Homo-oligomer: A and B are copies of this chain.
Amino acid sequence: MIARRKNRVVNPPEHCPLGQCLSIIGGAWTPNIIWYLSSQSRRFSELKDDLQGISPKVLTQRLRKLENEGIVNRKVMPTSPPTVEYSLSELGKELKPAIEAIVAVGEKLKKIKTAEAILGA
């Protein structure tokens, strides 16, 4: 069930093919979180550093959501001070091709725009 609130449809082009997956990777930071986790597991503050500018509140929110969806694993190390390792679950790794495709297109668009700027100006 995709997010509904009262009778207000929040998100859902449910009948369209993309809704489900996008509700996972659709946040402002989420895809980048997945991206950084895809190459290696990271600790909370490492992610916070990777995603410079994210507030701890939001990072926690995103990670909790991803954890609940079974996309990331959270592993608390019994150290002091505590360290927590986040990593992509097997399910989470399914998202990699999509993320990679987005990244690839992003790079391509950037190149095209740069070329246009040079040629056009």
| Contacts from A to B (Cβ < 8 Å) | 9, 11-13, 15-22, 24-26, 28-29, 31-32, 35-36, 50-54, 91, 94-95, 97-110, 112
Which residues of chain B are near A100, meaning CB under 8 Å? 101
For the complex of A and B, list the 5 residue pairs with the smallest distance between their C-beta atoms, beginning with the closest: A21-B106, A101-B101, A98-B101, A16-B32, A98-B105
Q: Contact at A107–B17, with CB atoms within 8 Å?
A: yes
A-B pairs with beta carbons under 8 Å apart, 11 shown:
A13-B28, A13-B29, A13-B53, A18-B31, A18-B35, A18-B103, A21-B105, A21-B106, A95-B105, A97-B101, A97-B104
Which residues of chain B are near A20, meaning CB under 8 Å? 106, 109-110
Contact partner, A9, options B16, B53, B102, Cβ 8 Å: B53
Which residues of chain B are near A101, meaning CB under 8 Å? 97-98, 100-102
